[in-house]
Chains A and B, each alone.
Chain A
Amino acid sequence: MSDWSQVTRPVPVPNEWTRPFWEAARRGSLELQRCQSCHSFQHPPYATCVKCVSVDLKFEAVRGVGSIYAYTIMYHTGDRRFAPAVPYASIIVELDDAPGALMAGNLLGAPYTEAKVGRRVEVVFEKLNDDITLPQFKLAASSTATTG
């Protein structure tokens, strides 16, 4: 299991496009930008809908369950902030409610060897400070049973 206790994560700096995402996360809610015209979700937030170019975009809550779309196990210690945690799994998650909107995170609470494409995961919230909470991921309850 990767030891995250000594890691100093860089703290996200919200901007006018991304602030609603981070404010929702601070409240323990996962909200993604959704096009009000074609109803597709997208992430990271952007000025226009990447599908239909509509500018009518709102943040809407999604269920924090999905699958690992892809991942990498980091071994290189060049980034000193993360060196204490190597090897660790950085994952890309596709949420069930937001197909195509890929979110980055870490696989927490499980050995990095548990990161596999297609594995079910659910969101957990990792508080960095009073302003910023990171949506992160752990194996979904149904998934842990099968992996021992």
Chain B
Amino acid sequence: MPKWENRCKIALSGVGYSKVTRSADVPLAAHALEAVRGAVAASGLEMGDIDGLSTYPELPATGHAEVDGISIVSVNCMMAMLKLPNLTWHMQVGSNNIGGAVQQAANALLAGVCKYAVVWRAMHNPKGTYQNLPGAQAAGASQFTGPFGFGGPGQHMAVAYTRYLERHNQAREKMVTLALTQRQHTQHNPHAFFYGTPLTREDYFNARMVAYPFCLYDCDIPVQGAVAVVLTTAERARDLQPKPAYLAGYGQRLHFEVAGRIGSLADYMEGGASSAKLTWERSGFSPKDVDVAQIYDGFSASVIYGLESYGFCKRGEALDFIQGGRIGLDGELPLNTFGGSLGTGRIHGLWHIIEGALQASGRAGARQIKDVNVSFVGASAPIVTGTTFIFTREPY
């Protein structure tokens, strides 16, 4: 299979962040605007240069109203705030998460229908219970799950995790290494929610259980915040302020699920493997070439499924693979070097993409890994229409 003809023709330029807060005191639109302005300024561009907009505006909390500007920030809402004079392209993806919004922007740039695209992800933390499930009836897809107390995505992912642990004779206690390592990495990321808050072994083992095998520290904390990136062609990116990170390849996978069926472990593995295969083929790299990896960690087990299905280690071995300092900043495969969602709070996969690009282009500051050439990103749980990316330091 030949490499992608558009390999390294697109680059990620500036990135921006809003404040990440636990409560939603400020409308989400303000967070999104702060992140977008930050990304545009960091690129050395004026807002009037931006001619492409793309996002994935979903609110993962159930039972709450989707109010544009308050609980989601759509393309329409962003345009209402920015009133871009030169907008020539926009896209709001529905089926493949924030990674898909980045991929669509790359495609639009390759097609020449815009020059500088901004992609943002804004995440709301509603007041009250995050998964608000008050109904007396279970209609549609939930009729086969709701009556048995299968509520939010945590339980859905937890069932695959018990299957994983018991079929591979693994121990959930080994996950403490991931939680502690990522929290250490978080201490080098001042934008993260848990910056300045350390985590100990005792904290992890004394934490309340949420949905076994997941304890509190296996789950990312709901927050209010936004991050944003500027994408452009490699040629244009070289004239901008930051050193560009080149997009060497990407992959995606449609999880063709039957509504109401709870995803099995096999679904995660197939989802991750097929998305990664495209990414390896298009980029011409393999897991052995990767210097640093960001793998989506809304729930800790996603990292385990990712490491295995993307091909970094064998099936059933990821909980051993992460031990012994391998995933630390000095390790053989530094992982979630920005702290992951477990460190930043629940902002979904765009922050993983940001960190992948920062590491590839030497812009990761205190947490920069030495001599990064190839940087891998798995930007969503492998089952959830997973997307994967490779960024490189040079347009190899």
Taking beta carbons and an 8 Å cutoff, which residues of A are in contact with B?
Answer: 7-15, 18, 42-44, 46, 50, 69-76, 78-82, 85, 87-88, 90-92, 102-106, 116-118, 128, 134, 136
Contacts and interface: CB of A to CB of B under 8 A. Distances in A.
B117 to A, nearest CB: 37
A75 B130 CA distance: 15
Contact of A79 (B133, B161, B208, B265): B133
A80 B132 CA distance: 9
Contact of A73 (B135, B144, B145, B212): B212
Contacts of A18: 143-144
Query: Ordered nearest first, which 3 A-B pairs have the shortest CB separation?
Result: A72-B158, A73-B212, A70-B163
B395 interface: no
Contacts of A80: 134
B151 interface: yes
B138 A75 contact: no
A14 B145 contact: no
Contacts of B260: 44
A138 to B, nearest CB: 14
B209 A78 contact: no
B262 A42 contact: no
A50 B159 contact: no
A73 B137 contact: no
Interface of B: 129-152, 154-155, 158-163, 166-167, 208-213, 258-262, 264-265
Nearest to A12: B143
Contacts, number: 136
B130 A78 contact: yes
A80 to B, nearest CB: 7
A71 B149 contact: no
B258 A76 contact: no
The residue among A7, A90, A103, A128 with the most chain B CB atoms within 10 A of its own CB is A90
19 contacts: A8-B136, A9-B148, A10-B133, A11-B147, A13-B137, A15-B143, A44-B143, A44-B144, A44-B260, A46-B258, A70-B265, A72-B212, A74-B155, A79-B131, A79-B133, A79-B149, A90-B149, A116-B166, A136-B148
Contact of A10 (B136, B162, B208, B264): B136
A76 B154 contact: yes
B160 A70 contact: yes
A35 to B, nearest CB: 13
Given A78-B131, A90-B155, A102 B149 contact: no
Given A8-B136, A12-B137, A44-B144, 10 more contacts: A9-B149, A10-B133, A10-B136, A18-B143, A70-B162, A72-B158, A80-B134, A90-B159, A104-B262, A117-B162
Contact of A102 (B130, B147, B210, B264): B264
B137 A70 contact: no
A104 B144 contact: yes
